[in-house]
Amino acid sequence: MGIQISPSILNSDFARLERELGRIASADWAHVDVMDNHFVPNLTLGLPVVESILKVSPVPVDCHLMIEDPDRWAPAFAEAGAQSVTFHAEAAAAPIRLARELRRQGARAGLAVKPTTAIEPYLELLPELDMLLIMTVEPGFGGQPFLESMLPKIRRTRQAVKDAGLDVWIQVDGGVSKATIERCADAGADVFVAGSAVYGAEDAAASIAELRELAAKAC
């Protein structure tokens, strides 16, 4: 599939969501961060807002669920039409069953791990998944500095996906910018979430193009 850019709308103007989504029409995805104030110490938006976003987004929607009990809540996001739904390994009681349910609803199934969660226990789940999300900041907020120490984890994950002979995408999220994207791509990531790097830029399309180019050169 190659390099994909998934701008996070977390740092966009929530009062003008349709216009803000229009700014990222040249991206591959719109990354939507759902936070519940329990799994992470922040509260963003839920299913009704995602349903509204799905009606107007110029690109497919990549839902990142930072919520407790995704076994219960995640399938509704797929049912609503989100093209990719990612839940956290730390929160899921039955990740295989949940991934299968998401796929059954027609969504791509993603599994996310926080910076201190090892990826190894989850590698057996690779055939059940379409994407692994390696968090490169502690989830909860945009604008945090990239955790350099996650690079070996990205590299090990890429090797495992290669060894398994599967086409599982590796997404990185947190602190991805012009300054860090090349190292992520070099380590093996292929889907790049960028919040402040895109929405903090005057020209979001130019920022997306620049990130895409830097990643493509480095991978």
Question: Catalytic site residues?
Answer: 33, 173
Q: First CA to last CA across the chain, in angstroms?
A: 13
Q: Is 195 in the site for ligand DX5 (CB under 6 A)?
A: yes
DSSP conformation class of 190: -
> Do residues 88 and 99 lie in contact, with contact meaning Cβ atoms separated by under 8 Å?
no
The most distant pair of C-alpha atoms in the chain lies apart, rounded to whole Å, by: 45
The SS3 call for residue 127 is: helix
Which residue among 78, 160, 193, 214 contacts ligand DX5 (CB under 6 A)? 193
Q: Is 117 in the site for ligand DX5 (CB under 6 A)?
A: no
142 is in an annotated binding site: yes
- The Cα–Cα gap between 199 and 126 comes to 32
Q: Is 36 in the site for Zn ion (CB under 5 A)?
A: no
The residue among 11 and 105 lying less far from ligand DX5, judged by its C-beta, is 11
Extract the tokens encoding 147.
């955790």
Extract the tokens encoding 176.
């991805």
Q: Which does 7 bind (CB under 5 to 8 A by kind): ligand DX5, Zn ion, none?
A: none
Shortest separation between residue 189's beta carbon and ligand DX5, angstroms: 13
Query: Which residues are at the interface with ligand DX5 (CB under 6 A)?
Result: 8, 10-11, 31, 33, 64, 137, 139-144, 173-176, 193-197
Question: Footprint of Zn ion on this chain (CB under 5 A)?
Answer: 33, 64, 173
